[in-house]
Chains A and B, each alone.
Chain A
Amino acid sequence: MSVETLIDEFVKEHEADLTALPDLKGKDFSSDQDVRWCPGCGDYTILKQVQNAMPELGIAKKDIVFISGIGCSSRFPYYMDTFGMHSIHGRAPAIATGLKTSRPDLSVWIITGDGDALSIGANHFTQLLRRNVNVNLLLFNNQIYGLTKGQYSPASPEGSVTKSTPFGSIDHPFNPLALSMGADGTFVARAMDRDPKHLKDMILRSHQHKGTSMLEIYQNCIVFNDGAFELFTDKKSRPQEAIYLEQGQPLVFGADNDKGVRLDGLKPQIVQLGDEFSKDDLWIHDEQDQTKAHLLSRFFEHPANGEGVQFPRPFGVLYAVDRPCYDEGVVAQVQYAKQKGGNADLDALLRGNETWEVK
């Protein structure tokens, strides 16, 4: 007897007819629960864009699962009319690994905060990336612990004055994208709550990538850390401070697209476009170039520090490559063992190699 478990049968029986998916709108993905974030919180726009992206995934609602940890951001699954689990602090990547590995047919999304993912859950976060489990992770970074009312987080810049650091924080922060590159992530991207259209594009890109998609989203906590990302989100400063990455396109930024980044060997340089440099001299973005992605993830000096060269902060997909996924590997091994094992004969297993009769 080859082992067809109830789940195998279940998955076959419940396979969604993708040609007959109902025509859903974003609002069809909102649950009946009242959303309880503070008015003006960046989480609202992210929720909206995720809901808007959902009908475009081409996946039945019943096959989508959102799993979160703990934090303001982690309340997210309650507001989605999909399957969901609001779990415990930091552990969503581990729960999602168990779910996706045992149910590869599902589209699994992890919702986490900067405290959830980079502090208590930093171990699971990095292990997820190295294993490359085929899930999508949305990291809501507000550089603060929101739910516990305003302590600094591992993403808060040095010197942050918060409730727990009245004299300024001393910890050196994580650079979430550099950390993800270091953990051998296969999809590393950044978006912000204040650019909803780009955000939605990035959500869709995350879905399309096979492997762990790590999308960091700058999210404004209006109560405890208002304006943390203002330089990038404010329409006036954004052109100077942010750079949007597009595959195959030169790195251009500035109010009049008058600046660019070029590579002098492995050293990035900001140049003024004009007589000396043209677009042809600039660094062409290539998502599959690991070295370049590493360099981009290091465009991270905090503008307020005024140290070093102030590179514009990159938004978009820094890195996207293919690497075998953990969950696929596990399933393949189990399938192989089932085929090779042919008769998974329980009686033979119970019997073992050596027996004797008592008469």
Chain B
Amino acid sequence: MSAEESSAQVLTPAGLEQLLTVLRQRGYRTLGPTIREGVIAYDEIACVQDLPCGWTDEQSGGHYRLRHRDDRALFGYAVGPHSWKQFLHPPRQRLWSARRDGETLQVRCEPPGEHRLALIGVRACELRAIAIQDRVLLGTAPGDPHYRARRTDTFIVAVNCTLAGSTCFCASMHSGPQVTGGFDLALTELTTTASSAFVLQAGTSTGRAVLEQVPHRAASAAETAAARALIEHTAEHMGRQLPSDDLPQLLLRSLEHPRWSEVADRCLACGNCTMVCPTCFCSTVEDSSDLIGQETTRTRRWDSCFTVDFAHLHGGSVRQSTRSRYRQWMTHKLATWHQQFGSSGCVGCGRCITWCPVGIDITEEVTAIRASEPT
């Protein structure tokens, strides 16, 4: 038995309720999965009742539906359309504004503000994605002050996946389904038809301090074994596979592969894949001045490598074709990201597959390129 497992605890739904209360008392904004617009979205959650109790999802390329489970599981689904980046690296962020004052200019940088975010129900792939965005946005000095402000005091309650969605492939990307670090508390939900219990581990001293304020008990050997078995079962039942060890080499020697044109015939260049991807971080800035030229504001907003403007250099966009834009997206995620940030840019969450309106599947595209590689 490992040290972690020997220290495993058990939390009941009432304990989870208390955990949310304690986090809110400590000044955290508690964010987590909840049903909204017919999907499991991430939003403010005040109590356990706000969680998607007894719900699961059905996912495939370009398809998502909520379904009832026959139990009262609180985390019995895979990831939905949202990712935590919408809170940590929000879609719009004002950066600075300037005001003309006679002959002088007053420049006001947007203060990053104070944020205490508690993220409830973060999956292994999402923890990996957050770690990637940390590297991208904070890894090189000076880093992004707005992201830093949101990450400085993030409390993370992770959840081990006890079910793999049919577009999930985290096991291939070595990023799940078991959480391995980067959390304050981690839960594994053991569900019976009547209720749930959570096998729980603390990952940080803050996590342990919070746990002190929440009723819990030591886990039995049977409970830890059940939790471990559930995670193993999830790992063995991934919806998709993507053998990933040679991807950079494979893709970078296939830049002229005919498959890129074939996928471009299907791709809408709509950008949905990059919007839902938890690691995509690209943004652009917009300047706007008022009518009388007194005030101007610079705003950062999410951008996508699928827009024409994204690759606008002097004289025009260097990626006019959807072929070149799709190739940029996929080779960046799976190949050049390694050189740039020291890991894959894909954590195997499957969102880009489910939320692509035409169901383009990154694993299928790689498989097609691999299968027809000129030998």
Q: Do A and B bind each other?
A: no
Residues of A in contact with B (beta carbons under 8 Å apart)? none
Residues of B in contact with A (beta carbons under 8 Å apart)? none
